Chains A and B, each alone.
Chain A
């Protein structure tokens, strides 16, 4: 177990990167606290896997350093870093039995057979494969294979960190939930530093104490699930987290007032006159329909998703999503929307502006 520090790290797959567009991973300084469970969230191709492979030593960064407990390991091979990593697609050793697969990382480190047997039994129970330990791994279903991969990742107790690269993609939803619970329990019991890469926000928000959101090779926000929801630092976070994501409307800001399509809304604080391309962000949860006050909207569609309803509306030519509570009927003639000023975020060139 270790604290992992990324110091001025960046990576490009090109031999001679020139502009910042050439970098798959843009300059990054970050400390992964010892024993915390992180989720690394972002859309495909944003540099998540690159970052993971750099941490595990499969990839050498083009610039910067990686430190484990303050010790520079940038040039240390994977074996020395003692890291476990689980990949997106199942990797099993076909010709070995399930048991030998699980024992492989331990045997490679020369652990005594009695210890190996004990650990394999524990892990097999955890992934629910005790009954097929003596089967050949070849010919198993994809999710059984992925469970073996997960098991191989977890079989070592003394790893510095456990890295998961979208490990549950190929697993069916029910098992997904169960395995995620197991991973949380594992984290709780052993306190490994865990980094869990995913593009599924539910997975990220339920797994981690801290979520790191990446966008276009950059870390845009690190925070608890609540922080990401309440105060997205970047429009991508607002849009990516939440279902549906944050509404973003072009805005002109003057002091504590914002002019958006369809009218003017008051702001909770004085923003002065920020520069750049301005947007007003408001979560669908923080909009309220009204018959008497607010901005005029046209409701196009109502989707009932069970615990609440999503109203797809049109505000002066812009799409607007509103979440209405399930127990409250949409009043007839309710064709105005009220914006909660305290929940508004103002974004200049996609980054959140703090009130003056």
Chain B
């Protein structure tokens, strides 16, 4: 069959192309442009080749931020995924309480990032915050502004508080899609509670859990506002994650070239890890199908 050729069709995709160009491609190219040039001011730029990239790869500061970032994402995923599943398993399946719990669970998700940061910043203060004051009263020398470990724990707990709901809601949706007959058959087969989880619930949740991991990874890898408001990246550089470091470099020091190189590397890392996720996910599907 001959396919009709009609170049007018291009006009139909034009709006999208324009939109994507202005929202993504042109800004990205500007960044690429900065990353290969240097300036001594007065808007005079000259070619610097891959210089910024070489500097960046040799920079201890960037590697430290990257390691911190990877540890942070790993830790919060390792906590939020099992905790979210546990919460989802214990949520009521139907009735009035199911709706009440759903609303309560979605509340943290509706709070803006900077408000979450502010809440925890005050909550953790030793002088007026309930948490900080309480811990202090119990004789624990807690101070997130001075002790790096305390700062880390606070940032992690804050993220868990903010985002476990998302994992729980996704897992809950996965659980709700399991027909009753599966649980009935498991009872008939005398499967233990663990086996019901392992062979019925977990496989049925696998798809949404993959999405949950991907979402939590990408989101935590880009985290900025909450730690910025809570600790400002401190004490010292203890909670300076990639994006905080990047903003310091780009806007604080106005080092546009290094910052542009940094953004591109950042982008490539996210792309790489997302690609790995995608491959693993599609392979899982293929292995099953």
Contacts and interface: CB of A to CB of B under 8 A. Distances in A.
Nearest to B184: A58
B189 A108 contact: yes
Contact of A58 (B187, B189, B195, B289): B187
Interface string A65-82: 000000000000111000
A308 interface: no
A108 B199 contact: no
A255 interface: no
B191 A83 contact: no
Contact of A104 (B181, B191, B288): B191
A94 B189 contact: no
Nearest to A88: B181
Contacts of B185: 85, 87, 91, 149, 152
A181 interface: no
A81 B185 CA distance: 14
Contacts of A152: 185, 189
Contacts of B188: 56, 58, 78, 83-85, 105, 153
Contacts of B191: 104, 108
B192 A108 contact: yes
Interface residues of B, number: 19
A87 B187 CA distance: 12
Interface string A93-136: 11110000000110011000000000000000000000000001
B112 interface: no
Most buried by B among A91, A94, A152: A91
A32 interface: no
A138 B189 contact: no
Interface in B185-231: 185, 187-192, 195, 199-200, 203-204
Contacts of A239: none
A139 B285 CA distance: 10
A104 B189 contact: yes
Nearest to A108: B190
B195 A108 contact: yes
Interface in A143-166: 149, 152-153
A53 interface: yes
Nearest to B191: A108
Nearest to B287: A136
A302 B181 CA distance: 45
Interface in B144-191: 179, 181-182, 184-185, 187-191
Interface of B: 179, 181-182, 184-185, 187-192, 195, 199-200, 203-204, 287-289
Minimum-distance CB pairs A-B, first 9: A91-B185, A138-B288, A105-B189, A78-B187, A108-B190, A93-B199, A87-B181, A95-B203, A139-B289
